[in-house]
Amino acid sequence: MPDIALSRLGKVYPGGVRALDALELHVAEGEFFALLGPSGCGKSTLLRTIAGLETPDAGSVSVGDRDVTALPPGERGLAMVFQDYALFPHMTVEENIAYPLKLRKVARRQRSESAARTAAELGLEDLTSRRPAQLSGGQQQRAALARAVAARPDVLLLDEPLSNLDARLRLEARTFLKKFQRELDVTTVFVTHDQAEALALADRIAVMEDGRIRQVGTPAEVFRRPTSTFVASFIGSTPMNLLPAELAEGAVLAADCRLPLPSGAQGQAAGGGEFVYGIRPEYLRWSASPLPDALAGTVSVVENLGSAQLVTMECAGRTVQVVVSEDHDPAPGEPGWAAPRSDRALIYRDGVLVGAEESRVPA
């Protein structure tokens, strides 16, 4: 399986939108790689540029040891699954799956055998004579995947592969896709605006903003050590608490509370600038009685998350959210304390993680 190297990619659309800005990226062989970011950050443009559906104004795209920048899509050895699946409505599932092989002038019998095998790999063996309109959303997605992989591409590109499915089916399809990508061992790049999907599926994630990559890392790295407040607030089902802070005598002052200096920021946080203290709701320990070195406040909202609850509290004019286990029973109006895990707390200066270069999270 080849790797993918993007070097100084630039793309400006008519009207002046800079969709890709001197973008550098390396996707390793066989990797399942996510492009994540808010709408309009350039994810689709990047994927389409790898596919050859957009031409960059600057930079290069290499697949394996080939520079494919000037090659048309059909000669790049890759396959793409579109958000709407783009199955041919007048063809059966089998004909759809076999279509790319037909384009490659593979003989009819071989085509049909190959399509049947791929259909079986994707659990579609009983549906091969149906047309797309006779399939459920999940089955259509599998048929589109089958069509993409039937010709055994070197690289698979997926544009928001799960976004057309309802919530439950999405979870099922996610697990299926992850397993299938492993089995196929194909270098895969997928676009999503859904951080949970990126965390769940990808080996590594690139978080994008305004045509640039803000951070590349494993799901654990981007979740635990976002290197900017932008990434910190984008990743996580409940956003990270980000509190304006002052640093004094080896401690942090935030929301009128004195907190221990995060372990990663020891000896790093000197000098001026605007400091922000970051702690995820999952990394705060709840108490209904006073705790030292903790945020103190009053509960304003309690939301049930099933096996836990999301507690919102007001601390000296700041809002702090805490994930609290079912062993506690906080209620609005009551006081509460939330002690941070110092090894998971972070300090940002001017939006950038202090000590980012120094320590790394194991994958």
Which residues of the shown chain bind ligand ADP in the complex (CB under 6 A)? 13-15, 17, 19, 37, 39-45
Q: How far is the CB of 205 from ligand ADP (least distance, A)?
A: 14
Helices (H), the chain: 43-51, 93-103, 108-121, 137-149, 167-184, 195-201, 219-224, 229-234
Q: How far is the CB of 39 from ligand ADP (least distance, A)?
A: 4
Q: How far is the CB of 201 from ligand ADP (least distance, A)?
A: 17
Q: Could you tell me which of 123, 131, 25 has the C-alpha nearest to residue 85?
A: 131
Residues 6+ apart with CB under 8 A from 111: 98, 101, 102
Q: Could you tell me which of 125, 122, 126, 74 has the C-alpha nearest to residue 100?
A: 74
Q: How far is the CB of 328 from ligand ADP (least distance, A)?
A: 40
CA 215 to chain CA mean position, Å? 11
CA gap 238, 29 in Å, rounded: 33
Residue 50 or residue 143: which is nearer to ligand ADP going by CB? 50
Residue 15 or residue 362: which is nearer to ligand ADP going by CB? 15
**Region label for 250, one of left (φ > 0), alpha (ψ between -120 and 50) or beta (otherwise):** left
Residue 156 or residue 252: which is nearer to ligand ADP going by CB? 156
Q: How far is the CB of 166 from ligand ADP (least distance, A)?
A: 22
Residue 121 or residue 210: which is nearer to ligand ADP going by CB? 210
Residue 37 or residue 56: which is nearer to ligand ADP going by CB? 37
Residue 45 or residue 188: which is nearer to ligand ADP going by CB? 45
- Cβ atoms of 130 and 92 within 8 Å: the answer is yes
Rounded to 5°, angle at Cα 257 from 271 and 301? 125
Q: How far is the CB of 214 from ligand ADP (least distance, A)?
A: 13
- Cβ atoms of 9 and 23 within 8 Å: the answer is yes
